[in-house]
């Protein structure tokens, strides 16, 4: 890979994924030696229809968002253009911490809302790495070789606690750019202390590379971490790959004996697979980071589990039965696909499908257009109503004094809905209660000031 792109976001909330706005994006570009080449930190004003929750503002402390004139569209377009220029070679790894669950999904939605390619980070040769998921492996297998923070006598995988362990200044923790610095240092430590595992994680970031890796090594260990009780687990598995490379692959839990399943009928296997609690089969996504390590890497580091010979024997038994593997893949392929019931435009990133080529061309023209008249002309030509809606919102952000009253009213109605109606978006009543509860708990005048800023923002939007 030619470039590493570390990134982090600070957001308006943490729960309602489809309606959360990024208010800060921080990013660092390095070469594979982790030498910094470039960086940026961008902030923007809240969208009128976005609710800034008191707890989120208390954590990220980005009170300057209420004073900046930078719009959400301007920030997102700037980040997109910067990342596009950084990854021109088509060989960049986008590195995050908890990105698969949060930051990556946030970024995709911000791009989607702003008529930009949501899949910049994993297309055209780019790939993704979520280091948090790989820390599950390190915490489980490499505790004797790699420092893991402890808080109140329990392990912690919080990025800021790793930063403290590496004696970094954490006063600016939860600043997006500062968190990128912590993340870069964490990867540097992994590279230095765990070179074999580092080589595995950095060479399996793309779907094809991960698929080949899962096939080439018969036994792997999938790790999990339960934050509520700080519990780490490991499950030995082998992949039961089908004939086509998809975004998912089927794995078999090698704690089970394949002999118990090889002679089952198709219907018996279907019934077993439907019983998730008892089934030894599991589907994992290979278009994303998975918290696994190969037995081969563990052997190089002399920490191979004692039961690995048994796991290997079971994996080989399965690999020697291609008809069984084919049967399992057919059963999974025949299962009903999920039906998405997403009513609101923001929720339809995945369920609404990809834009056709005509709308893609219109998006490029929309971004290049300078005048309101040009942008509105393109807006009205979109075939997909989702993109017409988003384009209207952008025009209202960029030309609030000039845009036609009917478009302004469209946005005002959206604000009213989001702050007075109940839906899948942040609930203003609940977050006002959250803010008042925080005011009763907090002693710091500065922290109370942040909470009051969020409360006043909510009240102002409701009026």
Q: What percent of the chain has pLDDT over 70?
A: 98
pTM: 0.95
List the helix and strand counts (H, then E) for the chain: 18, 12
Q: Which pairing describes strands 231-239 and 127-130: parallel, antiparallel, or unpaired?
A: unpaired
Contact present, 157 and 163 (Cβ < 8 Å): no
For residue 89 the two structure tokens come to 């070679």
What is the secondary structure of 105-131 as a DSSP string? HHHHHHHHHTTS-TTGGGSTT-EEEEH
The C-alpha atoms of residue 300 and residue 197 are separated, in whole angstroms, by 9
Average pLDDT, the chain: 94
Would you say residue 242 has pLDDT above 80?
A: no
pLDDT at 337: 63
Report how far apart the first and last C-alpha atoms of the chain are (Å, whole number).
51
Q: Which pairing describes strands 92-96 and 127-130: parallel, antiparallel, or unpaired?
A: parallel
Cα 170 to chain centroid distance, Å, stands at 23
Would you say residue 341 has pLDDT above 70?
A: no
Would you say residue 1 has pLDDT above 70?
A: no
Eight-class DSSP state of 341:
-
The C-alpha atoms of residue 417 and residue 70 are separated, in whole angstroms, by 24
CA-to-CA separations, 244 to 235, 249, 261, in angstroms, rounded: 25, 10, 23
Would you say residue 335 has pLDDT above 80?
A: no
pLDDT at 244: 72
The C-alpha atoms of residue 107 and residue 56 are separated, in whole angstroms, by 17
395-400: long-range contacts, CB 8 A cutoff, minimum separation 24: 397/47, 397/71, 397/72, 397/73, 398/71, 398/73, 398/74, 398/372, 399/372, 399/375
CA-to-CA separations, 253 to 106, 226, 273, 318, 383, in angstroms, rounded: 32, 19, 13, 11, 46
> How does pLDDT run across 72-93, given as a tens digit for each residue?
999 999 999 999 999 987 689 9
Q: At what angle do helices 372-379 and 357-368 cross, to 10 degrees?
A: 170
Other CB atoms within a 10 A radius of the CB of residue 400 amount to: 12
When pLDDT is cut at 50, 70 and 90, the band that residue 227 belongs to is: confident
For residue 291 the two structure tokens come to 């918290």
Q: At what angle do helices 131-141 and 195-202 cross, to 10 degrees?
A: 150
Residue range 385-398: mean pLDDT, rounded: 96
Other CB atoms within a 10 A radius of the CB of residue 191 amount to: 17
> How does pLDDT run across 144-175, given as a tens digit for each residue?
999 999 998 899 999 999 999 999 988 888 89
pLDDT at 340: 56
> How does pLDDT run across 173-188, given as a tens digit for each residue?
889 999 999 999 999 9
Residue ranges of domains in the chain, CATH in brackets:
3-193 (3.30.420.10), 207-334 (3.30.1520.20)
Rg, the chain, Cα only:
24
CA-to-CA separations, 226 to 223, 257, 287, in angstroms, rounded: 10, 26, 23
Eight-class DSSP state of 68:
-
- Residue among 350, 328, 427, 8 nearest 181 (CA): 8
Would you say residue 116 has pLDDT above 90?
A: yes
The C-alpha atoms of residue 162 and residue 164 are separated, in whole angstroms, by 5
Contact present, 19 and 53 (Cβ < 8 Å): no
Cα 109 to chain centroid distance, Å, stands at 10
For residue 280 the two structure tokens come to 């030894």
Eight-class DSSP state of 99:
I
Strands (E) across 273-427 are located at 281-285, 292-294
> How does pLDDT run across 27-77, given as a tens digit for each residue?
999 999 999 999 999 999 999 999 999 999 999 999 999 999 999 999 999
Give the CA angle between residues 233, 234, 238 to the nearest 5°: 155
Other CB atoms within a 10 A radius of the CB of residue 336 amount to: 5
Torsion-angle region of residue 353: left (phi > 0), alpha (psi -120 to 50) or beta?
left
pLDDT at 172: 83
Would you say residue 199 has pLDDT above 90?
A: yes
pLDDT at 243: 67
Would you say residue 241 has pLDDT above 90?
A: no
For residue 293 the two structure tokens come to 């390590």
When pLDDT is cut at 50, 70 and 90, the band that residue 258 belongs to is: very high
Q: Could you identify the residue written with the tokens 């599991």?
A: 282
pLDDT at 2: 77
Strands (E) across 227-280 are located at 231-239, 248-253
């Amino acid at each position: 890979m030619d470039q590493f792109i570390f990134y982090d976001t600070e957001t308006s909330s943490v729960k309602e994924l489809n309606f959360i706005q990024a208010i800060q994006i921080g990013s660092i570009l390095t070469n594979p030696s982790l030498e910094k080449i470039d960086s940026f930190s961008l902030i923007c004003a809240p969208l009128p229809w976005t609710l800034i929750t008191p707890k989120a503002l208390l954590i990220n402390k980005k009170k300057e968002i209420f004073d900046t004139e930078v719009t959400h569209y301007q920030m997102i377009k700037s980040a997109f253009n910067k990342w596009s220029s950084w990854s021109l070679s088509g060989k960049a790894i986008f590195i995050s911490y908890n990105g698969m669950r949060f930051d990556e999904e946030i970024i995709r939605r911000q791009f989607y809302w702003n008529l930009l390619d949501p899949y910049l980070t994993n297309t055209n040769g780019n790939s993704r790495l979520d280091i948090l998921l790989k820390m599950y492996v390190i915490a489980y297998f490499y505790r004797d070789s790699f420092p893991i923070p402890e808080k109140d006598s329990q392990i912690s995988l919080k990025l800021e606690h790793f930063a403290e362990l590496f004696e970094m200044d954490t006063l600016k923790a939860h600043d997006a750019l500062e968190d990128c610095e912590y993340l870069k240092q964490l990867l540097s430590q992994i590279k230095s202390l765990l070179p074999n595992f580092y080589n595995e994680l950095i060479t399996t970031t793309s779907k094809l590379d991960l698929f080949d890796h899962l096939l080439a090594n018969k036994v792997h260990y999938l790790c999990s971490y339960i934050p509520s009780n700080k519990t780490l687990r490991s499950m030995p598995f082998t992949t039961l790959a089908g004939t086509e490379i998809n975004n998912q692959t089927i794995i078999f839990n090698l704690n089970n004996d394949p002999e118990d399943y090889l002679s089952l009928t198709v219907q018996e296997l279907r019934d077993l697979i439907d019983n998730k609690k008892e089934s030894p089969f599991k589907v994992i996504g290979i278009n994303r980071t998975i918290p696994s390590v190969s037995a081969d890497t563990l052997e190089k580091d002399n920490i191979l589990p004692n039961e690995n010979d048994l796991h290997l024997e079971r994996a080989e038994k399965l690999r020697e039965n291609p008809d069984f593997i084919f049967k399992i893949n057919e059963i999974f392929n025949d299962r009903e696909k999920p039906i998405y019931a997403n009513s609101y435009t923001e929720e339809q990133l995945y369920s609404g499908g990809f834009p056709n080529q005509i709308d893609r061309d219109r998006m490029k023209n929309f971004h290049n257009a300078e005048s309101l008249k040009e942008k509105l002309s393109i807006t009205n030509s979109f075939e997909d109503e989702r993109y017409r809606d988003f384009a209207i919102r952008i025009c209202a952000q960029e030309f609030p004094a000039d845009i036609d009253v009917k478009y302004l009213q469209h946005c005002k109605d959206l604000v009213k809905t989001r702050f007075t109606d109940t839906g899948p978006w942040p609930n203003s009543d609940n977050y006002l209660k959250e803010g008042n509860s925080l005011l009763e708990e907090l002693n710091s005048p500065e922290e109370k000031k942040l909470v009051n800023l969020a409360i006043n923002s909510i009240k102002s939007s409701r009026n």
